[in-house]
Amino acid sequence: MKAPWTDRYRSPLLALADLAVFLLLWQLAVVQFGLVDRIFVSAPADVWAALRDLWSAGELQNALTTSAQSWVVGYVAGVVVGVALGLVIGAVRVVHRLAMPLLWSLWTTPLIALQPMLTVWFGYDSGPIIVLVFLSTFIPVALNTVVGSAGVGPSLLEAGRVFGGSRLALYRKVRLPWTVPYMIGGMRLAVPTSFIGLLVGEMVGSPSGVGALITNGTARFQTGQAFAGIVLYVAVSVALVRLIDLAERRVGRWREEA
């Protein structure tokens, strides 16, 4: 017997209800009760109007295109390098001891502290932004992959050796499948951190992009435009995290069944 549709869609319905209540309270606090100055905090209706104006002027499309290009290049490169190095670091004990302090040091380094030097090295184009996105993606992906690669059960590896598996075969058929859920978990964690890197790069040293829209809107007291950029960042980040979360659940279920 199939579950009622209310059970199947309970989580999305609750999320939409929470969002509706939040927007209503936000609108009432700013417009109806005047708890905050509308010059500094725009109402949801103002944000929607700003989004329409930016779209009509073509600024929103240009900003989204610029931000998407920088994010995709940095995120994909960070995932590829993070997975490759994470597998090696987790599997080779000597490399693990040498590389983990460096990874943890990078993880605790505030990205905004690196931005001025990256601008000096790569100029004011998209280079510093891509590097920031790469670093904020590479580190969590690598750390998660290391945990998975190093956590393969010794009995599984020994069983593979008993059946004549070579080192490469053990990587491909034992260590890699075991580590896949950890890789996806790192990719999921890297989505918000990579957007933070993108935002830092665009707000500090970029003439274009969604982060530049936020900076320009704040400087001109066009808070509707600034909040519109923030809403875009949040919406895209939540959507990407949700997609990766669905993939993670599928892989996790496959692993449990296996």
* Residue 64 belongs to a domain: yes
Q: How many residues does the chain have?
A: 258
Query: Does a structural domain hold residue 78?
Result: yes
Q: How far is CA 178 from the centre of its chain?
A: 23
pLDDT digits (tens, 9 = 90+) for 198-248: 888 888 767 778 888 888 888 888 888 888 888 888 888 888 888 887 777
Q: What gap in Å lies between CA 214 and CA 212, rounded to an integer? A: 5
Position 102 in a domain: yes
**Domain count within the chain:** 1
Place of tokens 């610029």: 66
Best CA proximity match to 82, nearest among 147, 148, 140, 149: 140
Q: Does a structural domain hold residue 28? A: no
Amino acid of residue 26: W
The dihedral region occupied by 206, where left means phi > 0, alpha psi between -120 and 50, and beta the remainder, is beta
Which band of pLDDT confidence, cut at 50, 70 and 90, is reported for residue 155?
low
Q: Is the pLDDT of residue 1 over 50?
A: no
Domain CATH number, residue 200: 1.10.3720.10
Residue 81, domain extent: 40-50+57-257
* pLDDT (0 to 100) of residue 18: 77
Tell whether the model's pLDDT for residue 102 goes beyond 80.
Answer: yes
Q: What is the pLDDT of residues 28-53, one digit of tens each?
A: 887 777 777 777 878 888 888 888 88
Q: Is residue 131 part of a domain?
A: yes
Ramachandran quadrant class, 92 (left: phi over 0; alpha: psi -120 to 50; beta: rest)? beta
Q: Could you tell me the pTM of the whole model? A: 0.82
Tell me the pLDDT band of 165, cut-offs 50, 70 and 90: low
pLDDT, position 143: 92
